Amino acid sequence: MSDGEGPSMADGRAPDVRIRGVTLRHGDRILFEDLSVTLPAGEITCLLGLSGIGKSSLLRLVAGLGPALERGAIEAGDGRPLKGRIAYMDQRDLLLPWLDVLDNVTLGARLRGDPANRGSARNLLRDVGLSGREGDPPAVLSGGMRQRAALARTLMEDRPIVLMDEPFSALDALTRLRLQDLAGRLLAGRTVLLVTHDPIEAVRLGHRIHVMAGLPARIAAAMTLSGDPPRDPTREESTARYRELMAYLGRSGPAPARECAE
């Protein structure tokens, strides 16, 4: 169980997630068409782009929350179904205000009719720095604490694939940095898709960064970063990558995809 790095994944090694030729329309507007990208196993893949470009829509398709796919496929690299192997974390903490923190963290088990492992939940809350706050209602927690509780709830699901939709964007800068450190450590070994519009966050947390731009949106080839997250943002490689990303984002529009760096 938890030893400071979150619970182990019950069903073994995290798989690749392969998104192949998917198309999404909102009415007459084509958000993206024939879009393909692979999320490598056990790595954090950041999807970076401007607001409204379709990043969250793509994440929701992977999560099974979008409309049925009209074209293409989203599948796990190991050939097993994705169903039952995905945890989801939203920009909003989505804590239920009528439950205390511990009951929020164990919500998934209750919804599935499984016995809630409150011991594991307590360990996870300790890992995210919320020991002693288990009985508190969400209303008395700060924004950072609430998002840490949401991270604990996501990890409590113990799924090998984690989808995060701008999970720290509503927080102040210092709290965001602390939570990025925490997430970088606790998500190790999982296949993560992190949607963000913050290049610093992408450089700190991503093994790979894809930029999404244009209408219909295209995904550029991955920028890969060395070492494991959380990465020191003042490190030379980090600052160089950040500059590259900013330059690319400044240029990117409806232009065809190009490789940022390898």
Write the DSSP string, 44-78.
EEEEE--TTSSHHHHHHHHHT-SPPPSS-EEEETT
Binding mask 80-119 for other proteins (x = CB under 8 A): ---xx-xxx-x-x-x-xxx--------xx-xxxx------
CA proximity to 156, closest of 202, 129, 193, 122:
122
Which residues in 82-199 belong to E strands, given as ranges? 86-89, 161-165, 191-196
Nearer to other proteins, 163 or 222 (CB): 163
Q: 34: which DSSP letter?
A: E
Question: How many Cβ atoms are within 10 Å of 5's Cβ, its own excluded?
Answer: 13
Interface of this chain with other proteins, residues 216 to 235, rule: CB under 8 A: none
Nearer to other proteins, 105 or 223 (CB): 105
Nearer to other proteins, 175 or 238 (CB): 175
Burial bucket for residue 16 (CB in 10 Å: 0-12, 13-18, 19+): middle
Least distance (Å) from other proteins to the CB of residue 163?
Answer: 8
Interface of this chain with other proteins, residues 48 to 67, rule: CB under 8 A: 60, 63-65
Contact call for residues 74 and 22 (beta carbons, < 8 A):
yes
Least distance (Å) from other proteins to the CB of residue 148?
Answer: 7
Under the binding rule (CB under 8 A), the answer on residue 32 touching other proteins is no
Question: How many Cβ atoms are within 10 Å of 67's Cβ, its own excluded?
Answer: 11
- DSSP-derived 3-state class of residue 155: helix
Question: How many Cβ atoms are within 10 Å of 72's Cβ, its own excluded?
Answer: 16
Nearer to other proteins, 163 or 200 (CB): 163
Residues in the interface with other proteins (CB under 8 A) total: 33
Structure tokens at 208: 């790979």
Contact call for residues 179 and 148 (beta carbons, < 8 A):
yes
Least distance (Å) from other proteins to the CB of residue 33?
Answer: 25
Least distance (Å) from other proteins to the CB of residue 140?
Answer: 5
Nearer to other proteins, 19 or 163 (CB): 163
Nearer to other proteins, 63 or 187 (CB): 63
Judged by CB under 8 A, the residue of 6, 15, 54, 144 near other proteins is 144
Residues that bind other proteins (CB under 8 A): 60, 63-65, 83-84, 86-88, 90, 92, 94, 96-98, 107-108, 110-113, 137, 139-145, 148, 157, 175, 178
